[in-house]
């Protein structure tokens, strides 16, 4: 089944096709007969987790409604090298013209899903959530974050309006952890209705204590050592007033370090590498012998 990905995919595909000058593909027009219809198959050249089938369908929907895209697996499904992922039938020119744009999206999104799945697997037996960040490709955030979920991880805030997250520069400008939280609370009080969650980034145990004492929703432990994180977890657990506050760890998290971080007892670990520098999953699209001519 192919899941439609909505307006975000429509906009991203439209921009990508325009960038690639898909309507002026002289190579394809001059080498591929106009009447030729083919079957193309996207296959995995490496093992991984698939994400982005809906974007492939959107590429060909915009290029040529006569192209039929059929998924051979589902988003979130793991595949092995050599396994078929998508079958594409229709006019050969359209299939070839859309190949690179379709693969660019599918390879990036599947790479993100594969990375997310690897991090989740490392801590699957522990009570911790793997989160993404806003370190996404400009214009592709919705697709990047969708791919994270396909890999079994979870989304952090989608944008700056989704929650309050006071980071290092906010705290410096406000005069510290306490003044920043107090200023946030004054403004939140005037909103009425549902209150936004408040998270504060800290880099020391003393800052963590200040944030916990003000009972924010989340405390982000940034680039702390495992010993410092364990101390912050102990501080949170030692006082009933702090029990509702959750602790998130962040900062250069890798597959080699994520389990050790999880074992400190934090509630979540955010991993910027999921979306800021994913390795594309190796996929290829090859056309088969002609089915029919028209």
The catalytic residue positions are 100, 135, 167, 201, 222
Residue spans of beta strands (DSSP E) within the chain: 37-44, 48-49, 68-71, 78-79, 84-91, 129-131, 164-166, 198-202, 218-222, 246-250, 268-270, 283-287
Kindly list the distances between the CA atom of residue 16 and the CA atoms of 25, 139, 148, 274, in Å, as whole numbers in the listed order. 14, 11, 21, 22
User: CB-based contacts of 84: which residues, under 8 Å, 6+ apart?
Assistant: 41, 42, 43, 72, 73
Report which secondary-structure segment, H or E, holds 119: helix 92-122
Strand 78-79, strand 48-49: pairing: antiparallel
SS3 251: coil
Name the residue among 158, 4, 1, 19 with its Cα closest to residue 70.
1
Residue 284: phi, psi to the nearest 5?
Answer: -135, 150
β-sheet with 198-202: strand ranges across: 129-131, 268-270, 246-250, 218-222, 198-202, 164-166
Residue 131, Cα to own-chain centre: how many angstroms? 9
Residue spans of beta strands (DSSP E) within 124-262: 129-131, 164-166, 198-202, 218-222, 246-250
User: CB-based contacts of 191: which residues, under 8 Å, 6+ apart?
Assistant: none
Q: How many CA atoms lie within 13 A of 264 on its CB side?
A: 26
């Amino acid at each position: 089944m192919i899941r439609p990905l909505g307006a975000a995919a429509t906009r991203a595909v439209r921009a990508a096709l325009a960038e690639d000058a898909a309507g002026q593909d002289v190579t394809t027009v001059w080498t591929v007969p106009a009447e030729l219809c083919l079957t193309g198959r996207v296959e995995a050249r490496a093992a991984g987790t698939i994400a982005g089938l809906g974007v492939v369908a959107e590429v060909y929907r915009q290029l040529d409604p006569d192209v039929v895209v059929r998924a051979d697996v589902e988003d979130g499904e793991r595949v092995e090298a050599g396994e078929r992922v998508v079958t594409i039938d229709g006019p050969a020119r359209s299939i070839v013209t859309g190949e690179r744009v379709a693969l660019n999206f599918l390879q990036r999104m599947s790479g993100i899903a594969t990375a997310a799945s690897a991090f989740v697997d490392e801590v699957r037996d522990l009570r911790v959530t793997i989160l993404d960040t806003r370190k996404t490709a400009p214009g592709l955030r919705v697709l990047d974050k969708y791919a994270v979920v396909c890999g079994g991880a979870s989304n952090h805030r989608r944008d700056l309006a989704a929650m309050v997250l006071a980071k290092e520069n906010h705290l410096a400008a406000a005069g510290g952890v306490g003044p920043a939280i107090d200023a946030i609370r004054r403004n939140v009080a005037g909103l009425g209705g549902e209150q936004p969650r408040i998270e504060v980034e800290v880099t020391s145990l003393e800052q963590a204590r200040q944030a916990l004492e003000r009972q924010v929703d989340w405390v982000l432990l940034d680039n702390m050592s495992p010993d410092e994180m364990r101390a912050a977890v102990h501080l949170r657990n030692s006082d009933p007033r702090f029990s509702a506050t959750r602790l998130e760890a962040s900062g250069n998290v890798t597959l080699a370090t994520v389990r050790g971080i999880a074992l400190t007892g934090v509630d979540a670990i955010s991993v910027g590498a999921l979306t800021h520098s994913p390795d594309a999953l190796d996929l290829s699209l090859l056309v088969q012998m002609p089915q029919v001519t028209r």
